[in-house]
Structure 1
Amino acid sequence: MTTGWAEARQVARDAAEPLETITVTLGEALGLVLSEHLPALVSLPLCDTSAMDGYAVRGPAPWTVVGRRLAGPCSPDAALEPGQAFEIATGAPIPVGTEAVLPVELSTVDEGVVTGVLPARDHIRRRGEDIPRGRRVLHRGTVATPAALGLAASVGYDSLRVHRRPRVRVVVSGDELLTAGLPTPGQVRDAIGPLLPGLITAAGGELVDTQFVADRAGALSEAMACDDVDVVAVCGSTSVGPADHLRPVLGTLKAEILVDGVACRPGHPQLLAALPDGRHVVGLPGNPFAALAAGHTLLGPLLSGLAGRSPMAPLTGRLRGAVTARATETRLVPAIRTDDALVPVGRDRAGNLWGAAMADVLAVVPPQWTGPEVEVLPL
């Protein structure tokens, strides 16, 4: 039974339990997902520090300069008496007794004596002012972005507990496919093999390998017989023609079919199955744009869930132009984002990636849509 587009995505998400947790260094964590909350191990700043280059002072002007302090380890015993100053750099710990930092641009120095009018702000960053020790700074399910890794380092982490990436094997079937050079009549260049690695990586997965097989059930079954991956993405062979062997092979493997066809265009003949050994199989249509649409419908949500990513709130936009909704199927329309609208780019036949390559997003046009608001899937 064909499943609605939104429901199919939810089924794929619900089928995915986050994979086991591993410990990795910060350098290895980029793109992985935190498996536990991250509290700050230290306060930021760790102690009271100067927010400006200038002079740490105590009492009213003038101030006699009695020391100098740069950022870095320093004696905790340094102290100021009234009428004294320390030359100080941004980020340096302030001496005990400091009442304010006089910015260098507001100061005058003559033979070791500083004068100037203190501004309203004291230009001191207090201990824990930015992040108190123990404060949760990142939540479980957060993707380790470059900024997140920098934050983790700043609050004391050398390694992180994360979910490992789901491992994916891509199996592309078709006697007509050519992987290099110019095709001859009866041949077509494979476009899905180059398309999927980026989609898999963006969803949090890791491509293990890509295999090209002939349109034979035995060849397909052999390519799917692997125990070192979590997901097998089969491209082509998802329809019901004489060369489409995926469903019979899944039957032989005693797979549970979770989604068998999705009410969307392009990408209708796609499927999701669970194998008895815990692996998942995603069937993608053989037409390139249909495969891309199916990748965003089933493969992306499945990998995202296995990687432990938290669901994101849907992005929306206002679709402009002559777009006709279908009665019972969702349309996925390549579009470009402008300042105030989404503009369809056209050239969106199932076998053609031209429109998708020109687009920023896929606009999700639900059945019987009357506009203008739609969900969008970033490309």
Structure 2
Amino acid sequence: MNAPRLPLKSLDDALAELLGFATALKGVESVSTFDADARVLAQDVVSALHVPPQDNSSMDGYAVRCADVSQAQGVFPVTQRIAAGSSGAPLAPMSVARIFTGAPIPAGADAVVMQEDCELVEGGGVRIKAVPAPGQWIRRAGEDVTRGAVVLSKGERLTPAALGLAASIGMNLLPVVRRPRVALFSTGDELVMPGAVAPEHMRPGAIYNSNRFFLRALLLRLGCEVSDLGIVPDRLDATVQALQGAAQHHDLILTSGGVSVGEEDHIKPAVQSLGSLDLWQIAIKPGKPFAYGRVQDAHFIGLPGNPVSSFVTFLVLVRPFLLTLMGVTDVATKSIALSAHFTWARADKRREFLRVRRNAAGGLDLFSNQSSGVLTSAVWGDGVVDNPPGQTIAPGDLVRFIPFAEIMG
């Protein structure tokens, strides 16, 4: 007698359970700030100085005492010239200082008049044509960063702007969590590598291995160290051997295909013989079959073989799992409310991820074929609509749009 079929697991429940298995990796590396893009901070970064370090001019112009410039058209002698990187003497009463953007404000000055509001007069003086307000065109010390402030937090994934901020407080090295080591392989005797066989010579039933290419690229974009173990034959002994080798030096083993219960699906018994495995049927479309387990000390995740199913399950499950391993504190996927410019009349019991593209009117167009085998949809589209179970969509409805730019790096 067949075992009763378990109910489908919701994506939220599956993700919560999956993240419960993810413990932040041990090991901290000190890397050059130049090379730290997309790495995850292992410690808070605290500033040892103010940024800017002292009051400075935000304009080319003249530093003045506001009390001296009580009305426009006053003429003042220029007693000094202050460029960025230099420092001036205290500003004498009833005089002005020529000053350039970024240069320190001299003691006694309390405003800068931009050069467009000044006029050179015969004899070297300057006519101030606009009455300044105190503090005008002055960037205050610590306006950007104050000494002792946490400028970047532990668990933050570094961006190019964050690298610039770290450099602005003198950080040439940053403490980051080590990269996850991921072993990647595919299963299936039907799979052929591009270049191995010309299209006209493909045997009946054979297909080119597309999953291996986009999964490797997604892993690299996340900052993982990837070992590509190729295609494993549909044999139990070969699958066991591949898993044993992969478990030795990797944090995660990621496979696509072979996670169903067919006679040629050897992942399940192979993983169970070496560790433990949970097979989940998740209430999402595309991407229902999903497996999580352990092989010795390594995590194991098995994705569906259909390319769009594998692509979607990676983005909504594997990506947040890996970010959690990396110590990222916020792994929630962000969505945007946008207007649907299409009709979706076929409500499904499962949560759907529809491939869409933004149009010139600011709405979303739907790819015509949403099949789990049509990878063209993920190339044509620039994101997915996260559509709740049982939900139809009419033109003008607000939907949850997740840009690929949000979840592909």
Same fold? TM cut 0.5? yes
Corresponding residue for 1:17? 23
**Residue 203 of structure 1 contacts residue 301 of structure 1 at CA under 8 Å; is this kept in 2?**
no
Tell me by how many angstroms 1:50 deviates.
Answer: 1.0
CA distance in 1, matches of 2:343, 2:362: 13
Tell me by how many angstroms 1:119 deviates.
Answer: 4.2
Aligned amino acid, residue 84 of structure 2: A
Extract structure 1 runs of 4+ deviating beyond 6 A: none
Q: C-alpha offsets along residues 209-254 of structure 1, whole Å, 9 cap, x if unaligned?
A: 2422211122222222232211111111111112111100111012
Work out whether 1:90 is the aligned partner of 2:101.
Answer: yes
Structure 1 gaps, min length 5: none
Tell me by how many angstroms 1:175 deviates.
Answer: 1.4
Work out whether 1:214 is the aligned partner of 2:233.
Answer: yes
Work out whether 1:378 is the aligned partner of 2:378.
Answer: no
Q: C-alpha offsets along residues 45-97 of structure 1, whole Å, 9 cap, x if unaligned?
A: 1001111101122333422112211111436xx11111222211100012111
SS at match of 1:22: strand
CA RMSD of aligned residues (A): 2.1
Tell me by how many angstroms 1:16 deviates.
Answer: 1.4
TM norm structure 1: 0.91
**Residue 42 of structure 2 contacts residue 154 of structure 2 at CA under 8 Å; is this kept in 1?**
yes
Structure 1 segment 1-379 matched on structure 2, within 5 A? 1=6, 2-20=8-26, 21-58=28-65, 59-60=68-69, 61-74=74-87, 78-110=89-121, 111-121=123-133, 122-181=136-195, 182-183=198-199, 184=202, 185-224=204-243, 225-226=245-246, 227-257=248-278, 259-277=279-297, 279-309=298-328, 310-312=330-332, 314-317=334-337, 318-319=339-340, 320-327=342-349, 329-338=350-359, 339-370=361-392, 372-379=397-404
**Residue 336 of structure 1 contacts residue 342 of structure 1 at CA under 8 Å; is this kept in 2?**
yes
SS at match of 2:283: strand
Q: Residue 364 and residue 133 in structure 1: after superposition, are their counterparts in 2 closer, same or farther (change >3 A)?
A: same
Tell me by how many angstroms 1:373 deviates.
Answer: 4.9
CA distance in 2, matches of 1:282, 1:293: 14
Q: Residue 354 and residue 166 in structure 1: after superposition, are their counterparts in 2 closer, same or farther (change >3 A)?
A: same
SS at match of 2:289: coil
Tell me by how many angstroms 1:360 deviates.
Answer: 1.4
Tell me by how many angstroms 1:340 deviates.
Answer: 4.9
Aligned amino acid, residue 34 of structure 2: G
Q: Residue 22 and residue 195 in structure 1: after superposition, are their counterparts in 2 closer, same or farther (change >3 A)?
A: same
SS at match of 2:272: helix
Q: Residue 249 and residue 377 in structure 1: after superposition, are their counterparts in 2 closer, same or farther (change >3 A)?
A: farther
CA distance in 2, matches of 1:6, 1:323: 24
CA distance in 1, matches of 2:221, 2:345: 28
CA distance in 2, matches of 1:255, 1:378: 35
Aligned amino acid, residue 238 of structure 1: V
CA distance in 1, matches of 2:295, 2:41: 27
Tell me by how many angstroms 1:204 deviates.
Answer: 4.4
Q: Residue 14 and residue 346 in structure 1: after superposition, are their counterparts in 2 closer, same or farther (change >3 A)?
A: farther
Tell me by how many angstroms 1:168 deviates.
Answer: 1.1
SS at match of 2:365: strand
CA distance in 1, matches of 2:109, 2:257: 72
Q: Residue 39 and residue 118 in structure 1: after superposition, are their counterparts in 2 closer, same or farther (change >3 A)?
A: farther
Aligned amino acid, residue 288 of structure 1: P
SS at match of 2:176: strand
Aligned amino acid, residue 344 of structure 2: A
Q: Residue 101 and residue 295 in structure 1: after superposition, are their counterparts in 2 closer, same or farther (change >3 A)?
A: same
Structure number with higher relative contact order (C-alpha < 8 Å, ≥ 6 residues apart): 1
**Residue 332 of structure 1 contacts residue 363 of structure 1 at CA under 8 Å; is this kept in 2?**
yes
Aligned amino acid, residue 103 of structure 1: M
Structure 2 gaps, min length 5: 1-5, 405-409
**Residue 62 of structure 1 contacts residue 83 of structure 1 at CA under 8 Å; is this kept in 2?**
no
**Residue 257 of structure 2 contacts residue 302 of structure 2 at CA under 8 Å; is this kept in 1?**
yes
Aligned residues: 374
**Residue 345 of structure 2 contacts residue 392 of structure 2 at CA under 8 Å; is this kept in 1?**
no
